[in-house]
Structure 1
Amino acid sequence: MCFRQLFKRIPSFSKTGRCSLACLNVAQALGVVNDNIFKFTMVFLLIEVLGAAEASSILSATGAIYVIPFLLFSSYAGILADRLSKQKLLVFMKGVEVLVMGIAILAFATRVPWLCYGLLFILAIHSAVMSPSKYGMIPELVSQHVVPRANGLITSTSYLAIIFGTFLASFLTETTHSQFTWVACICFMIAIGGFLAALGIKKTPEQAKKIKAHPFFLKEIYYTLRIASLTPHLVTAIFSSAFFLFVGAFTQLNVIPFAIQTLHLSEIAGGYLFLVSALGIALGAFLAGKLARYKTALGLSCVACLGIAINFLFLSITTSLPLVIISLVLIGAFGGLFAVPFDTFIQLNSKDERRGQMIAAANFFSFTGVFIASLLLYVFSQFLELSSANGFAAVAALTLLVFLILISRLSEFFFSFLAKVFFFFFSPCRIELSALESNLSAILVLEKASFRKAFFLASQFPTMHFLFPSNRFKQSWYCRLIYSLHTAPKGLDTQELIAYAQTQLLPERPICVFFRKTFQIPTSAIYGWIELFQTKPLVFFIRFYKERTGWICRLEKKD
């Protein structure tokens, strides 16, 4: 019987999305625990075999071997996730993990270094192949509004698993008195548990049976980015997701010399400080799943990016251990709040037949970020001779630059998030949305406009863009920098202005024409527009009324 027939016979014992999500979470968490136990236990074994003098070389080789498969095979893993059933691929790879851990018992018993490194490489390939399937199947298991919560749960559990796996590696090594074979046996049992959990995920369909892989993986990544560029903000989300792992990797690498140079602690204590940051990521990811809603979640990510920059800056100037711990927890928490909305955006805005490739592209750039973090730390310490505290300050400046880029590219989400917070706490106002519930691609005319009114509209329509007549705003610099602001060409009459507004419309993206004064649009302009575009736009006037309970905003359709 051929491999493909065997692959199709992989079973599934679940029928519901909630049960499947729980099984997916357990399967991936056990995999993360196993990765960390195996990786660190292998380091302890090789240090014992080769000597403590080789510790730095062993750690460097371990890090490189684990990262390389993500760079080489991420694009192919994405194609596999789209061509095959993600559930079946996940179960198959969990079976590979069981096999690897079985061989690891032999490798740890014989203490052969090349065999240990080889198994780590295979385990890294296993993780690289699993990742697009793990995240890509979430929208196939749960409804769209549950995806942010599911991502928050998966990410939170992953970082808790990292902490637990790192702890277990040291704990089991010490408890078994460096009997590494027994540790490998425990890893084998954990792998079996993960395999059984994967069987509990319900079957998912194949999405793109005919898609083919290019032999040169960089060209595949480039082609994926070209497709992603056709969807607004998808490329931004992919690179932002990668930036999160860059920040995490730099923090993990720099916190140990920071602990030694600034806090005068040991390198072991520095390792524990990163676990504090990982705990913060788990907390932030869980909160992001609870707080973030799909329409405004990217605005939360922008605010979280600013929080990361501020805490990096604070970390670079403090020498108090309690304040350092608080800063690291906050960096982690803001990191979780930053990452989950972008992961959700990638999942929900990728086509079903391309979702695995989009996630794979994000993985490729994420681990490129890990490599850049290592290179940057080397440049800071060896060439620029910066202290570890100054290294955190440099990354704070870089994060602040990323924040400015994000609020430029994701301005509608950022301003919508800020507006929601403002009007919730300080200025209650309600809006009657019945006219727009069925169609968000509409032209809204805001008369007697003020920025307060526009701010309120932004709070209600996260994807809204604003169009300013050129007689008031003559190609302002901020209209060129901010994605959601547009200036109409000079000299347009009413009919042409509405026609120009229509050219800025995209699905589910209303555009508001911003008038400082009352400006009645004649019916002839609407007819002229219909004749020009062979379709009928939805044109609404925005009216604000003062009532006892506060302001009310109504949308009135122009007949």
Structure 2
Amino acid sequence: MLRELMRARRFAPLFWTQALGAMNDNMFKNALVVLALFRLTHLGPVVVALSGGVFLLPYAVFSATAGQIADANEKSRVIRWVKFWELGLMALASWGFLSGNFGVLLAVLFGLGVQAAFFSPLKYGILPDHLAGEELVAGNGLVEAGTFTGILLGTVLGGVLLLLPDGALAASGACLGVAALGILAAYRIPLAPSAQPQLRPGWNFAAETWALVRLARENAPVWFAIYGISWFWAVGATLLAAFPTLARQVLHADGHVVTLMLGVFAVGVGIGSLAVARFVEDASLVDYVAAAGVGVSVFTADFALTALRAGELGTVAAVLGGFAGWHMLVDLLLLAVCGGAFSVPLYVLLQERSAASHRARMVGANNVMNALASVLAAGITALLYARGVGAPAVLLGVAAGNALVAWWIFRVVRSGVHQGSSAPL
């Protein structure tokens, strides 16, 4: 089924559009992270932690209206608008890289967050228009795998290109080129008729957001999925901010080690997402979420403790040349595999239990809660780093908190509350 979907026009162009978008976002973001870590020595970790919040804050502000636009319009056309928006932002990013202006680069990061907030309801809302049943499960798994493959390639290229002698120019050209490829792919996406043509988007962002969240809370399965996905985003944001800081401050590593760690993490999430799509039946999807959550906690804690004992691993050769380095990489891979297996069932639950006329808006409500959780996590993490708390301690705290959430998910799934449709959890 996976091969058939990757050849089908009803899925493949969307897959490449979103994968290229994820690649570009992360190519830009990792180039910014590497630039901050090596040019802003003392403020680098704080900038890295806050960068996740800067990117995700627009989700909290604009997702309600973005969901309304997706439900009210033909989705493939709006996707093309959003991709041209990305191209304009990457032109501005080129100016920021070439001038070394962090204010411009952070503004671009915020703009990419706004663009992503409008793209997400389109991406997840259009999938059930063209896929159903096991195809929908497979499509979600492929989208997650494609997203994290894009994250992997973007993360690697962002770090590698910026570290070249003419790194600013190379990173700028790559960002513009990938944006252009994304536009070409978007023009191949088939039509997806409006779910509610009479809907008029509201532009009072605060009121629309509050109304949307209240609407989502009325559907227990949807609200359960939103809770779980939001926690996944908060954990992911904390981990992705911790890895570069841990590499720099604990392992005394260079930028290539940071890129290796982020790349292994992205590969793991892709593997976990594809495994769910390939081997798990639709009816039993949610049963695996709590077990995957336990795996995230176990391997996160082991990664942090191994890093504390590893000593200095300053280069990729040093990481790959000893047991401690390989131990850390295996932990990273396995915690990411569990993360991929954690998220895909919840996205499928969200899509399947949302009414077709409100599906994109339910994705928007999910994005609001994801963003609030991630921004809060980024703020707490930045504060901890500013007060001198080390990355290993942050990771151990994440592992403990995640174990409690996994236990809560296990209790909810056993009770069957997530199968209802009337009362909020």
What is the TM-score with the length of structure 1 in the denominator? 0.64
What SS does the corresponding residue of 2:11 show, helix, strand or coil? helix
**How many angstroms does 1:154 deviate by?**
0.8
Higher strand share: 1
The answer for the alignment partner of 2:214 in structure 1 is: 226
CA contact (8 A) 1:305 1:338 kept: yes
CA contact (8 A) 2:226 2:350 kept: yes
User: Cα deviations across residues 89-133 of structure 1 (Å, max 9, x unaligned)?
Assistant: 111111222233344445555555544443333222111111110
- In 2, the alpha carbon distance for the partners of 1:267 and 1:102 equals 29
CA contact (8 A) 1:17 1:141 kept: no
Q: Does 1:410 align with 2:413?
A: yes
**How many angstroms does 1:259 deviate by?**
4.3
The correspondence of residues 297-312 of structure 1 with structure 2, limited to 5 A, is: 297-312=285-300
The answer for the alignment partner of 2:398 in structure 1 is: 395
Q: Does 1:266 align with 2:266?
A: no
- In 2, the alpha carbon distance for the partners of 1:315 and 1:45 equals 25
The correspondence of residues 431-450 of structure 1 with structure 2, limited to 5 A, is: none
Give the one of 342, 361, 377 matched to 2:346. 342
CA contact (8 A) 1:41 1:169 kept: yes
- In 1, the alpha carbon distance for the partners of 2:44 and 2:335 equals 29
Q: Which amino acid aligns with 1:95?
A: F
Give the one of 237, 242, 247 matched to 2:225. 237
Give the one of 14, 18, 24 matched to 1:28. 18
What SS does the corresponding residue of 2:190 show, helix, strand or coil? coil
- In 2, the alpha carbon distance for the partners of 1:337 and 1:46 equals 32
The answer for the alignment partner of 1:435 in structure 2 is: none
- In 1, the alpha carbon distance for the partners of 2:35 and 2:198 equals 45
Where does the alignment leave 5 or more consecutive residues of structure 1 unmatched?
Answer: 1-15, 412-481, 485-504, 508-559
TM-aligned CA distance change 1:376 to 1:182, over 3 Å:
closer
- In 1, the alpha carbon distance for the partners of 2:154 and 2:382 equals 27
Q: Which amino acid aligns with 1:228?
A: A
TM-aligned CA distance change 1:60 to 1:145, over 3 Å:
closer
Q: Which amino acid aligns with 1:372?
A: L
Q: Does 1:253 align with 2:219?
A: no
What SS does the corresponding residue of 1:295 show, helix, strand or coil? helix
TM-aligned CA distance change 1:235 to 1:58, over 3 Å:
closer
**How many angstroms does 1:235 deviate by?**
0.4
The answer for the alignment partner of 1:361 in structure 2 is: 365
**Count of aligned pairs between the two proteins:** 398
Q: Does 1:328 align with 2:299?
A: no
The answer for the alignment partner of 1:140 in structure 2 is: 129
What SS does the corresponding residue of 1:233 show, helix, strand or coil? helix
What SS does the corresponding residue of 1:143 show, helix, strand or coil? coil
**How many angstroms does 1:257 deviate by?**
4.4
**How many angstroms does 1:171 deviate by?**
2.6
User: Cα deviations across residues 327-376 of structure 1 (Å, max 9, x unaligned)?
Assistant: 22111001000000101111111111211111112112222222222233
The worse-fitting range, judged by mean Cα deviation, of 373-382 and 327-336 is 373-382
CA contact (8 A) 2:57 2:375 kept: no
- In 2, the alpha carbon distance for the partners of 1:506 and 1:161 equals 35
The correspondence of residues 127-526 of structure 1 with structure 2, limited to 5 A, is: 127-175=116-164, 177-178=165-166, 180-259=168-247, 264-266=251-253, 268=255, 269-270=257-258, 272-318=260-306, 319=309, 320-378=324-382, 387-411=390-414, 482-483=415-416
The worse-fitting range, judged by mean Cα deviation, of 86-95 and 246-255 is 246-255
CA contact (8 A) 2:229 2:343 kept: yes
CA contact (8 A) 1:78 1:356 kept: yes
**How many angstroms does 1:74 deviate by?**
1.5
**How many angstroms does 1:22 deviate by?**
0.7
Where does the alignment leave 5 or more consecutive residues of structure 2 unmatched?
Answer: 1-5, 310-323
Structure 1 vs Structure 2: percent identity of aligned residues? Answer: 23
- In 2, the alpha carbon distance for the partners of 1:138 and 1:373 equals 29
Query: Taking CA–CA contacts closer than 8 Å with sequence separation of 6 or more, which of the two structures ends up with the larger relative contact order?
Result: 2
**How many angstroms does 1:252 deviate by?**
1.7
**How many angstroms does 1:75 deviate by?**
1.6
Q: Which amino acid aligns with 2:216?
A: A
CA root-mean-square deviation = 3.0
- In 2, the alpha carbon distance for the partners of 1:394 and 1:105 equals 38
The answer for the alignment partner of 1:86 in structure 2 is: 75
The correspondence of residues 40-55 of structure 1 with structure 2, limited to 5 A, is: 40-42=30-32, 55=44
**How many angstroms does 1:275 deviate by?**
2.6
TM-aligned CA distance change 1:183 to 1:388, over 3 Å:
closer
The answer for the alignment partner of 2:316 in structure 1 is: none
CA contact (8 A) 1:225 1:235 kept: no
Q: Which amino acid aligns with 1:362?
A: N
**How many angstroms does 1:41 deviate by?**
3.7
- In 2, the alpha carbon distance for the partners of 1:180 and 1:197 equals 26
TM-aligned CA distance change 1:321 to 1:213, over 3 Å:
same
CA contact (8 A) 2:152 2:266 kept: yes
Higher helix share: 2
**How many angstroms does 1:135 deviate by?**
1.3
Q: Which amino acid aligns with 2:23?
A: V
CA contact (8 A) 2:221 2:353 kept: no
TM-aligned CA distance change 1:261 to 1:109, over 3 Å:
closer
- In 2, the alpha carbon distance for the partners of 1:185 and 1:215 equals 35
TM-aligned CA distance change 1:169 to 1:349, over 3 Å:
same
Q: Which has the larger radius of gyration?
A: 1
What SS does the corresponding residue of 1:410 show, helix, strand or coil? helix
The worse-fitting range, judged by mean Cα deviation, of 247-256 and 370-379 is 370-379
TM-aligned CA distance change 1:212 to 1:393, over 3 Å:
same
User: Cα deviations across residues 164-216 of structure 1 (Å, max 9, x unaligned)?
Assistant: 112112333344x2253453233222212111101111000111223344555
What SS does the corresponding residue of 2:197 show, helix, strand or coil? coil
Q: Which amino acid aligns with 1:98?
A: L
The answer for the alignment partner of 2:315 in structure 1 is: none
